[in-house]
Structure 1
C-alpha cells in the first residue's frame, strides 16, 4: 500500500522527469510582439497574434521603427518579432545585436527588395537606365520610413550608380498613395518596393535590374526572439519556431487588408479559421 509520502515523492519524480525531458515549464501569460508597420509585417504579426491568443496567451503588439523593433527584442522589452529581413535588409541591426537575440530562421522565403516602375514605363528596365532618365521621374524615388534597411540600400544605390535622384522619405502608405496617383495618370514613377507586398497584385510593376547587386539577392523574413524565451515558455518558443507562411498566402491577406473597411485583426482571424491544418502544424 502506498503511503502519502511515497505518493508525493512519486509525483515529484514525475514532475522532475517531465522537466528534464523538455516538457511543460511555467508558461508566460503575457506576450509582446514588436513589428514594423509594413503590409507584410502587419499580416504576419496579426496571424501569429491570433494563434497565440487561441492558445491562451494575452498578446500585445507594438508598432516600432525597424531599429527600435530589433532593440526591443534584444533588450527583452518585446518577446519576439516576425519581421526580420535577412541577410541584407536588416544586416546592420543583426550584426549589432545578434548576440542578444535568437534567430529562429525564416517564416517567409523568396522575399526581395529593390526599386520598381510601372510596366508602361517601357524605356527603363535597369538601374543603369536611370542615369539619363531622371527627369522623366521628376528626379525622385518615392521611399518609405527613414532608417529602414530598404532606404539605406536605396541611398547606396544612388551612390553606386551615380544617379541624379533624390530619395523621398515617407511610409509604406504614402509610397503606395504616390504610386496609385501616378499609375492612374499613367505617369512615370520609381518606388522602393519589396516582395511580399500586395501592390504587386494590384499594379503591373517591374523590378529594375540591379547588375551591381546593391539590393542583394533573395531574402527571407525571419522570426527572432529574446534570449531566454525557450526556457521561460517552451510551447510559445515552439509555436514561434514553427510559424511559416508562403508568399502567396501572405500577399492574399495583404490584398484583403486593402479593401474598404478591412480590419487586419479580423482578416487574420478569418485566415486562421480557414487554414486550421496549417495552424495546427505550428502548435506542439
Structure 2
C-alpha cells in the first residue's frame, strides 16, 4: 500500500466533489482554525502532526488540542474538535457508533494500518507458562508473571480507562489470577517492557499494533476467546454467564473522523484528510524513531513529508 494515497486517487476524489486544481490554489476557504485532536500515544501524535502540517502548508490555521481518546468524538459533536486521525475499532467501537448516530461527525475513511491490541508477553515467558498463547494457561501462571507488589497474583501492565481496554473487567470475568497495574504513560509502560526483556524478567503488558514493540521484540498476543459484540453487551454470552468482557479485544480498522462542518467550511481540507493514509510498517518505523531513537515528532514528520513530497504537493498545487 502506498504510504499516502493522494498521488493515485486524490485527483479523482476532488473531481467527484467538485474541486479541481483551482480549488487548491484558493485554499484556505476560511480563516477559522482547524482543531486537531491529539491523544497520548506516539503514533497518533505523528499521524495528527502529519495531517496538521500538510494543512498548514496549504495555508490553513491549525490548532492542536490535547484530548482524551474516548472523549474526542463527543467534543467533535459540539465543534470543539475538527479532526482526529485515529479512532480504533479495537477500543472505540462504542463511542464511534454513538458519534455516527449523532449525525454531527463524519467517518473520513480508514487511516490504513490494521488495528490490533491485547495482552502481550515476550516469547521467553512461554517457558515459564506452558500452554501459552492460550489464555487458559494463565489460570495456573499468575505467579510466573508476579512481582513483589502483586504476588502470588500476576501483574498485568496496562493503561488508564481513557484507552478503553476493559482489562479489569476481563480479569474479573475470566477469573484470571492477575492484578491490573496502571502504567501511567505509554513511555513508562514500554520503557518497563524494554527493561524487562533485557533482563528476561516476567512481564505481561498491553501492546498495540501498529507500533514498534511487536515489530522489534519477539513475543505473542494472548489468545482470548474471539470477541463478538455480545461479549461486551450480554452477560449470557460466553464462558461466564454473569459477566461481560469474557473475551479478547476486537480487531479492525483505524478510522479518521471529521466534524460534520468540515466539508462545508473547509472543503479542500476535507478532501485532503479523507484521502490521507499512512502505511503501517512505515508508521512503526516512525514511532520507533521517536520512542527508541529520541527524535522529535516534528523531525520525523518532516522526513515523512519530504519523502512523499511529490505525492501530495502535486495534488495540492504547490
| TM-score computed with the length of structure 2 as normaliser | 0.76
How far did residue 225 of structure 1 move?
0.6
How far did residue 282 of structure 1 move?
6.9
How far did residue 246 of structure 1 move?
1.4
Q: Write the deviation string for residues 138-157 of structure 1: whole angstroms up to 9, x where unpaired.
A: 121100132212x22x2342
**Segments of 4+ in structure 1 off by > 4 A?**
20-26, 280-284
Pairs within 5 Å for 1:12-23? 21=18
**8 A contact 1:108–1:246 mirrored in 2:** yes
Which of the pair has more CA radius of gyration?
1
Distance (Å, rounded) in 2 between the aligned partners of 1:63 and 1:215? 29
How far did residue 181 of structure 1 move?
2.0
Q: Does 1:111 find its partner at 2:115?
A: yes
Instruction: Give 1:79's aligned residue.
Output: 82
Distance (Å, rounded) in 2 between the aligned partners of 1:276 and 1:114? 35
5+ long unaligned stretches in structure 2: 1-16, 147-153, 228-246
| TM-score computed with the length of structure 1 as normaliser | 0.85
Structure 2 CA distance for partners of 1:21 and 1:107, relative to 1, 3 Å: closer
Q: Which moved more, 1:231-240 or 1:53-62?
A: 53-62
Instruction: Give 1:272's aligned residue.
Output: 305
**8 A contact 2:36–2:81 mirrored in 1:** yes
**8 A contact 2:42–2:291 mirrored in 1:** no
Instruction: Give 1:47's aligned residue.
Output: 50
Q: How large is the Cα RMSD of the aligned pairs?
A: 2.2
**8 A contact 2:28–2:60 mirrored in 1:** no
How far did residue 200 of structure 1 move?
1.9
Q: Does 1:157 find its partner at 2:160?
A: no
5+ long unaligned stretches in structure 1: 1-19
What is the total number of aligned residue pairs between the two structures?
Answer: 262
Pairs within 5 Å for 1:65-76? 65-76=68-79
**8 A contact 1:84–1:223 mirrored in 2:** yes
**8 A contact 1:35–1:83 mirrored in 2:** no
